[in-house]
Amino acid sequence: MNFWYDPVNFIAHWLTSLLTGWGVAGWIASVIIQLIGVVLLISLMMVFDIFLVWVERKVVARFQDRLGPNRVGPFGIFQPFADIIKLIIKEDITPAGADKVVYNLAPILSMMSVLLLWAIIPLAPVIFGVDLNVGALYIVAAGSIGTLSIIMAAWSSNNKYALIGAFRQVAVLISFEIPMIATMLIPTILAGSMGMNEIVQGQQTVWYVVLAPMAAIIFMIAAIAELGRSPFDLNEAESEIVAGFHIEYTGMKFGLFFAGELLHAFTFGGFWAILFLGGYHFFGLENLGPLVAVIILLAKAMFGYWVIMWIKYTMMRIRIDHMLAFNWKFLTPLAFVLLMLTALMNTLLRGTSTGVYILGMLLTNVLLGWIIVEILRGYSRGERQKTEGVAPATATAHR
């Protein structure tokens, strides 16, 4: 094997031989190498995270018709480092009555829950942490750890606003997990496996966004809710509960939350890419080599991240009950209907030629989407008639 086509194993072999050459027992060597791999991945991600800060700020600036950071370095690209320095030298306050251990544990968990996700992301056919055969569930599991971190933070910081924020966030997370799982099962059905790698390989011929566009959309919505970003950013609704669960955090602890959120968003962009946009596939370009594949995947993830930002800076915040109602009464049933429909069509069209298969799935989704739009239109018409004379914008607010 050479470096170009299988870098990870190449390096691993080299290191193993090196270490065993030093007289290290085989299993210890493997443990060490895996540790090195993990550390490498994590540190890479963190560095990438720093870059993300800059991206976010630039993009939001463009959305809001500003320039954004442009002083420090070319295009202000070194702005994040300045931020980090600021965060580090800030005073690290632990509020009185706070539960020290939990308080300090929470940000780490929050960061960890994001980093855990990267263990199963197949960056390239041969570059991935583990090929877990229950990857889809693993995502949810890691997400639940994120929930935990939020609760811990909110509770330990002994602050009402924080607690309220945590309650909201947990409510949102737990309810939006359901359509998320349901939509993650659709690529699972199509690929016949929960393993991320196999899902990606399943999109060799056609990306699942073509086969299941509705699923892609729902997954994106649920992901945004999971991330707690606008329009679902009730956990830190500045105007209502000052900053939500991390109100009491200062300095680098807050930085961890912040970075965690950004990386989380980017990660979900990556999952979106993996589940629906064909992962590292890009019309055979990935065959040039694993590193190319990695770049493709990161590009797609960045695209997903950009979509998330786009929504974030375009939409206004939604009221909590509307949000939950939207999930329970609309998103969840739709997700389940979609799931069943996809499973059905998949079994029906299994034997047919690829063209028919793709067309059938696509048409099914389009049809369903059209029906949904019609239903929504009728619903909103009804609402408007219910509040005759009141402007539609405020009509729902006064319900």
Partner 1 sequence: MTAMQIFFLIVGLVILGSALMVVTTHNLIHAALWLIVTLFGVAVLYAILNASFLAVVQVVVYIGAIAILFIFAVMLTRKEIRDHGPQLNSGWWLNVIIALLTFGGLLWMLQSWNGFSKTAADFPSSYDAVGQLGKALISPDAFVLPFEVASVLLLAALVGAVYIAFNPHSGDFRK
Q: Could you tell me the smallest distance in angstroms from the CB atom of residue 373 to partner 1?
A: 25
Give burial (CB, 10 Å; 0-12/13-18/19+) of 82. middle
Start-to-end Cα distance in the chain: 66
> What is the DSSP code string of 254-304?
HHHHHHHHHHHHHHHHHHHHHHHS-TT-STTGGGG-HHHHHHHHHHHHHHH
Q: Could you tell me the smallest distance in angstroms from the CB atom of residue 135 to partner 1?
A: 9
Contact (CB, 8 A) for 280 and 202: no
Among 23, 97, 351, 355, binds partner 1 (CB under 8 A): 97
Among 32, 102, 178, 349, binds partner 1 (CB under 8 A): 102
Residue 94 is a binding residue for partner 1 (CB under 8 A) = no
Give the integer Cα–Cα distance in Å for 169 and 146: 11
- x/- mask, partner 1, residues 114-153, rule CB under 8 A, reads ------------------xxx--xx-xx-xxx-xx--xx-
- x/- mask, partner 1, residues 255-294, rule CB under 8 A, reads ----------------------------------------
Q: Could you tell me the smallest distance in angstroms from the CB atom of residue 122 to partner 1?
A: 17
Q: What is the token pair recorded at 86?
A: 């600021």
Among 32, 63, 82, 99, binds partner 1 (CB under 8 A): 99
Q: Could you tell me the smallest distance in angstroms from the CB atom of residue 99 to partner 1?
A: 7
Interface of this chain with partner 1, residues 294 to 323, rule: CB under 8 A: 321
Q: Where are the alpha helices (DSSP H) in 118-159?
A: 135-156
Taking CB atoms within 8 Å and a gap of at least 24, the contacts of 125-129 are: 125/197, 125/201, 125/280, 125/286, 125/290, 125/293, 126/5, 126/6, 126/7, 126/8, 126/9, 126/290, 127/7, 127/8, 127/290, 127/293, 127/294, 128/196, 128/197, 129/37, 129/38, 129/41
Looking at beta carbons only, is 28 or 371 nearer to partner 1?
Answer: 28
Instruction: Return the exposure string of 225-260: e unless at least 16 CB atoms fall within 10 Å of the residue's CB, then b.
Output: bbbbbbbbbbbbbeeebebbbbbbbbebbbbbbbbb
- x/- mask, partner 1, residues 174-203, rule CB under 8 A, reads x--x----------------x---------
Looking at beta carbons only, is 73 or 192 nearer to partner 1?
Answer: 192
Q: Could you tell me the smallest distance in angstroms from the CB atom of residue 119 to partner 1?
A: 12
Q: Could you tell me the smallest distance in angstroms from the CB atom of residue 256 to partner 1?
A: 19
Interface of this chain with partner 1, residues 26 to 45, rule: CB under 8 A: 27-28, 31
Q: Where are the alpha helices (DSSP H) in 157-212?
A: 160-191, 196-202, 208-211
Give the integer Cα–Cα distance in Å for 274 and 203: 9
**Binding span for partner 1 by CB under 8 A among 95-103, 214-222, 289-297, 305-313:** 95-103
**Binding span for partner 1 by CB under 8 A among 74-82, 162-170, 262-270, 286-294:** 162-170
Q: Could you tell me the smallest distance in angstroms from the CB atom of residue 134 to partner 1?
A: 5
Q: How many residues bind partner 1 (CB under 8 A)?
A: 30
| Interacting residues with partner 1 (CB under 8 A) | 27-28, 31, 97, 99, 102, 132-134, 137-138, 140-141, 143-145, 147-148, 151-152, 155, 158, 163, 167, 170, 174, 177, 194, 321, 325
